[in-house]
Amino acid sequence: MLGVPGSPSGATSGLVAEDRGAVTTPKYLIVTAAIPKQYLELLGQPIATYSMQTFARMHQIKEIVVVCEPEWREVFQACYARLSRKLPLKFALPGAERQDSVYNGFQEIDASAELVAIHDSARPLVTATDTLQCFEDALEVGAAVLGVPVKPTIKEVDAGKRVVRTLQRARLWEVQTPQVIRPALLREGFELVRRDGLEVTDDVSIIEALGKPVQITPGSYTNIKVTTPDDMSVAERFLDEQRELAPTV
């Protein structure tokens, strides 16, 4: 989770969790997979640590909260030891469901954080540019999430797999992470979730349940979630391309 006081250039805190994680502005939570998928190595480095390095380089992020089982903390501690910028690092335990993990991480964020950024550590290719724009949108609207327009045609089907209707592709977006929310709004959302016993599949759904607006921040198709061997191959190719384009010093 990351904390931002007043503007995207202000202080932010970050939260990293397992496949059940959360982030604040800037705090980021990386959500995690036996070996959990985010701890598999991608080009010789644990998947989960790529986004941690990206967020640590952003001056808007003032702390990182990692939500993970205790036996995996060493992965993040080893990454932290190599960071040139030593922002505060905290840990929280995961819960039974994603929303419980996010809640646990949320309890650890600094009180001065103006945004909470929740990130899935299985998305190693998130960019600082997209993340910063998401922070700006969340500061304006209250909640924002990275997303990309859906490319395939999507059909709604019934229990017998008969087509009910074809959804309007122009109105469909695939959401990613980070999902960025003002702390007061997230706190209000958690109160609703607990009072009404709601189950949500992503973090901004909590804000939707409140009837409050959520902004989609256009992201990048390269911000994939690595869940299969094919995803790993795609991520490796994207990383190789990024390294080729990186300036040499």
The pLDDT of residue 123: 95
List the chain pLDDT tens, one digit each, 249 residues: 555 444 444 444 455 444 433 444 444 443 333 467 788 899 999 999 999 999 999 999 999 999 999 999 999 999 999 999 999 999 999 998 889 999 999 999 999 999 999 999 999 999 999 999 999 999 999 999 999 999 999 999 999 999 999 999 999 999 999 999 999 999 999 999 999 998 888 899 999 999 999 999 999 999 999 988 899 999 999 998 887 776 654
Alpha helices in the chain (DSSP H): 47-56, 73-82, 98-106, 128-141, 183-196, 204-209, 229-245
Contacts of 177 (CB under 8 A, 6+ apart): 23, 31, 118, 119, 120, 123, 126, 145, 146
d(CA 156, CA 93): 37
Owner of token pair 């409140």: 210
b/e code 40-67 from CB counts within 10 Å (16+ = b): eebeeebbbbbbbbbbbebebbbbbbbb
Tokens of 139: 């500061």
Owner of token pair 């209250």: 142
Terminal C-alpha separation, the chain = 32
Q: Note whether 152 and 221 are within 8 A (CB).
A: no
pTM for the full predicted model:
0.85
